[in-house]
Amino acid sequence: MEKAEQYPKWLNRSKAHQYISASDNTFMKYYVNNGKVTAYPTEHGIRYDRDEIDEAVKHYYD
């Protein structure tokens, strides 16, 4: 099964860092706080876009 099939398009914080196999601190400090991934407030809490996370991982060294 492909990762994209296992994870929905919108991920909460715990699923988002598991999706890229990173620690929560790394995800928050490197991706979210540096503006590589945007936190979107929804009626179900903060969510992160899986496609945006994929793009940030592809350009990790940029």
Whether the pLDDT of residue 1 is over 60: the answer is no
* Residue 39 covered by a domain: yes
Residue ranges in the chain assigned as alpha helix (H): 3-6, 13-19, 24-26, 50-58
Asked if residue 26 belongs to a domain, the reply is yes
| Structural domain total, the chain | 1
pLDDT digits (tens, 9 = 90+) for 35-61: 999 999 999 999 999 999 999 999 988
Separation between Cα atoms, residue 31 and residue 24, nearest integer Å: 10
Residue 49, domain extent:
8-58
pLDDT band at residue 3, thresholds of 50, 70 and 90? Answer: low
- On whether residue 17 sits in a domain, the answer given is yes
